[in-house]
Amino acid sequence: MKLLVEIRSYKLKPGSAAQFHDAVVSTVIPLLRSWNTDVVAHGPSAHEPDTYFLVRAYADLDDLHAQQDAFYGSDAWRQGPRESIISLIETYLNTVLWLSPESIEDLRRSNAAAPR
């Protein structure tokens, strides 16, 4: 069974990549995982200094919408790290694609994301 993978690419404000990464690692990833979000990979992009990626896996598009609506609408996000994170983002772009569980595990291993 394939899973829907969302790749979110962030264009960050100049010079904010280290601060963004620290916030993602210390607060956002643990918070996402506490909501049972499958964070496959994340980190600074290798092609530009002020870009970052976040890869998450979902059962399907309905699951993606339900999980993200619940998470991004929660007090834990809104009253938590939301403002400190979005203040560092210029723009972002989402792309979704279907991948096999084996491909997702390879992506997870290749990008050194911690196990879910």
Q: Checking DSSP bridges between strand 38-44 and strand 3-12, what pairing results, if any?
A: unpaired
Structure tokens, 108 = 């997870």
| Residue 27 CB neighbours (<10 A) | 15
| Residue 42 CB neighbours (<10 A) | 21
Average of pLDDT values for 51-60? 97
Question: Where along the chain do its domains lie?
Answer: 3-110
Q: Which residue has 């994170």 as its token pair?
A: 85
Res 47: pLDDT: 86
Structure tokens, 106 = 């390879």
User: Picking from 7-11, 45-49, 98-102, which range would have the lowest pLDDT averaged per residue?
Assistant: 45-49
Res 2: pLDDT: 97
Res 112: pLDDT: 65
Answer CATH for 3-110 from 3.40.50.450, 3.30.70.100, 3.10.100.10, 3.90.1170.50: 3.30.70.100
